[in-house]
Structure 1
């Protein structure tokens, strides 16, 4: 079960690429993204703010780490499994984004490098859960992840503003 400890580490390796590379890449590619994906303008703008984005990543890291520790302490993989499935699907979404945009995006390198870990671990734990349980926990993980991400994209700019003494947002 040593592979449980790796999830927060693998997650952060991927997120470091996003935190470091994505804001600059977005600034350079905003015009193309706005033209091709006008419905994503607000999302692109919010991801361009590195400190705000980093706050969201920090919160996600705390959740993944807490779920990992809880699973280890309780000897129950369920909450960790939800995180693993959601993270693996997150990586697949980035690969699809790369294929749709058809040019380098700062998340592709670590998505390709981290996905084999997710697949390998998924194979390691496949006998712990039935197909229906896997689908259920995968669904739960994705729903929690999406709701959390939507909330954090709203909260992080306000938190960052508050942290910098601007209480008007």
Structure 2
């Protein structure tokens, strides 16, 4: 029988539990602003980046706001469950892989802002969320030196799972939109 992992210090566990909170604060901006931004910004994206515009329009661009919020809610549940698992098992590798996946996601949003040279519905929360990611990794590294090659390998696995999950969540959201149209067509 193996011994249970040593519990993490409370300050590290609390720092880890901030990940779902920071994720959600970041995604609130996206939930609130994606539809108005797409209505105004998609034509400019179509002109400058036609392939990207087709990808947006074909995936989340056509979703209702409730269906888009469903995707975010599903991601929030997964991040929360994985954070709980990482804290309960004192598994910093798993959690740092999640954190780095979120950090790369934020860097992509910052890149979108730079490419668009205008507001994108995630840029207000991306820099402070990225700062949290850097601070959390730095704090953990102070107590537990991080094996970065191992973290980036786990992060690649987490990224692959995120892509698969996002595709499944979009499919679920499209089904949810169809259900909404059938049952609540005046509400959407």
On whether the aligned pair clears a TM of 0.5, the verdict is yes
Match of 2:27 in 1: 15
Question: Unpaired runs of 5+ in structure 1?
Answer: none
Q: Aligned match of 2:78 in 63, 67, 87?
A: 63
CA distance in 2 between counterparts of 1:57 and 1:85 reads 18
- Which runs of no fewer than 5 residues in structure 2 stay unpaired? 1-11, 184-188
Matches for 1:34-53 after TM superposition, within 5 Å: 34-45=46-57, 46-47=60-61, 49-53=64-68
Q: TM-score, normalised by structure 1?
A: 0.89
**Once the two structures are superposed, what CA deviation does each residue of 1:28-80 show, in whole Å capped at 9, x if it has no partner?**
11211111121123443323531121111011000000011111212222332
1:12-161 aligned at under 5 Å gives the runs: 12-45=24-57, 46-47=60-61, 49-126=64-141, 127-161=144-178
**2:97/2:152 contact within 8 Å kept:** no
Aligned residues: 166
Runs of 4+ more than 6 Å apart? none
Structure number, greater radius of gyration: 2
More helix by proportion, 1 or 2? 1
